[in-house]
Amino acid sequence: MTSDAVPPPADGLAHHPLVGRPGKVIALHLNYPSRIAQRGRAPSRPSYFLKTVTSLATSGQTVERPPGTELLAFEGEIALIIGTTARQVSREDGWSHVAAVTAANDLGVYDLRSADKGSNLRSKGGDGYTPLGPASIPAEQVDPASLRVRTWVNGELAQDDSSATVVFPFGELVADLSQLITLEPGDVVLTGTPAGSSVVGPGDVVEVEVDVPGTEHSTGRLRTSVVEGSGPLPEFSAQPSVDDVQRAEAWGSRDAAGLEPPFELTEDRIAKLRQVAVATLSAQLRKHGYNQLSIDGVRTDKPGSKIIGRARTLRFVPAREDLFRSHGGGYNAQKRTFDSLKPGDVLVVEARGERGSGTVGDILALRAQVLGAAGIVTDGGVRDHSAVKDLDIPTFSGGPHPAVLGRRHVPWDSDITVACGGATVQPGDVIVGDDDGVLVVPPALLDQVLDAAIEQEAEEEWIAARVAEGAAVDGLYPLTGEWRRRYDAERDQEGTR
């Protein structure tokens, strides 16, 4: 070891993992496949955040849950204690700069996430939010892929995983960080948490242990008790803010958080949507007070066809030469979005109603079809219109135009809230289109309007039959009086058959 190394303990096992005051505490966002599966996003490279040195605590201490918050979550982790200075080291040499490993609890308050827009400063940096210990394991005595991390809450096992599963090996993390940041003796690197992290509250006790199964190497159990904070945050501080997304992430799943399962466009819902016309849905949405859900100015290239699916979104900004040079070429946002479509998606494109260039052509439309997308809706133009029309996938647009994208647009971003044809569209909205046009249906409204729309169509079918028989529309359309009683009686009779 060099002269700036952390000296090893005399007995080979430190009674406390830290020597001196660390200069940095660095934490990794995602590493264990079990946690990555929960989050639903797989990192291609490690990403990190800083925790404050004052967040460090020892075993047996308490941690406060700030008053007015509900989502204090534990994360049992393996912590690396840097032993020698690391600056631009190789992956092969990274582990050699680690003096010891210990147990860590990367505590955080999800209620305060929004305050710092992703930096995690307040949500993860509070006093006592990084307990370590109680002992450490010398790094030179263990294989970094042989470690196990376990967490107990009130005596019940909540997390159990192995460092053999991690996406980013520990030596690689040291090497990666050292490319731009000098790691110094005593610095702490938290290496990610496995599945099982969840919410704890006052009165709960969390214990974390790191060991090598089948050997004497163990940190012992790091014990932290949760208590309620003594006073609310003053009004000049950012206040707690939570939503169901934060609750699901903090608890580990929507089910664990006691939330309703996420909306799905099931086969039953799709079958019902196929029964009703867009005009009927529009009428029912109007009855619920929604008059701004029509994507205006677009027409289908396949009369008689219908689109039903969940919205994916793509936004173009007005053409500007420098921005098109930086964002328009290569594998741009437009191409990335088309490549990411999944079965049942309807791609909704914000083109600001500008029809003076194409926003999709035959190659990209074919790509959407091959991936199983349900349709394309754009309030701009379509190039290669005849070829796009001949595909199986229906496209609603402002009409044909021969010019390429760059004449009027720069592909900018995707999967955000967009405006298309005068309607606001969010990713996940239900999109329904037929010869009358295209509607955006907020998922929470769908079941409310769908059954009513089916009933409305049944009524109108019955009314049309009476009109065909020669009946006048007065009192018949809409159904009132005797006509209403007659219709209800026939429906009741059919229901008893």
Binding-site residue ranges for substrate: 361-364, 383
Binding site, by residue number, is: 361-364, 383-384
List the structure tokens of 166: 């991690």
Q: Which residue has the tokens 């191409």?
A: 335
Nearest-angstrom CA–CA distance, 248 and 254:
5
| Contact status, residue 418 vs residue 315, Cβ threshold 8 Å | yes
Nearest-angstrom CA–CA distance, 446 and 495:
25
DSSP tally for the chain: helices H, then strands E: 12, 28
Rg (CA), the chain: 30
Burial 128-163, CB ≥16 within 10 A → b, else e: bbbbbbbbbbbbeebebeebbbbbbbeeeebbebeb
| Contact status, residue 97 vs residue 163, Cβ threshold 8 Å | no
Q: How many CA atoms lie within 13 A of 11 on its CB side?
A: 7
Pairing relationship of beta strands 345-350 and 307-318 according to DSSP bridges: parallel
Q: In one letter, which amino acid is 246?
A: Q
| Contact status, residue 432 vs residue 273, Cβ threshold 8 Å | yes
Binding site for Mg(2+), by residue number, is: 384
**DSSP, res 193:** -
**DSSP, res 262:** P
